[in-house]
Amino acid sequence: MSKDWLLLRPGFMDYDEAWDLQGGLLAARHAGVIDDALVLLQHNHVYTMGRRATESHLLISEAEMKARGIALYYVDRGGDVTYHGPGQITGYPIIDLRKRGLDVHSYIRALERALIQVLADFGITGRQDAGYTGVWAEDEKIAAIGVRISRGITMHGFALNVDPCLSYFDGIIPCGIKDRGVTSIAKLLGSPVKLVEVEESILRAFQSQFGGSFREVSLSDLALVETPV
């Protein structure tokens, strides 16, 4: 396998479908039948609770979530509770860390640097915070990161707030951090942003941080490499 990437951009996808897709890609990567992969998509409204999530960080009831059209999933990534939805680019890198000479810590730092590079393309100063995972613009979180490592291969990933409706974050304590807010590229710029432009910036940043080149494929192209998890 090379250090190149498969790129999938399926558009909108419910969370459970994307989770199944990740599982298939993970299994195929373990089997050595695909290169590393990056999935860029948008989710319909959903809260996800990571392995360190606390129920008290979910601030609205199931009835309220249903009324607002928000799904809820308990997932196997690291971290606490977060929100995914329209206007946010969620990225799922499926990477064999050993092939790229990375450990978990260096991988997460590289993800943060890539997202900071993306923000810089739009004139925004992003930063890392020694106390927290993710990317910050001043004191507000603009990108969340939560990963799972399976025998050296990654799944889950990052969520970058491009232009989501930030009011959906009011239903949770994002990432369990009580004293800081969340922001978006559009909010900081004061104007809308084209998601496709942000996606292209993400691809450039990934190439800068991890190397390789991208080969875009469709979901149907992967039918021959599906492998049971």
Are 47 and 53 spatial neighbours (Cβ–Cβ below 8 Å)?
no
Is residue 79 a contact partner of residue 175, using CB atoms and an 8 Å limit?
A: yes
- Catalytic: 165? no
Q: Catalytic: which of 155, 175, 198, 202?
A: 175
Q: Which residue has the tokens 């491009």?
A: 162
Query: 26, 8, 5: which is closest to 152 by C-alpha?
Result: 26
Catalytic site residues?
175
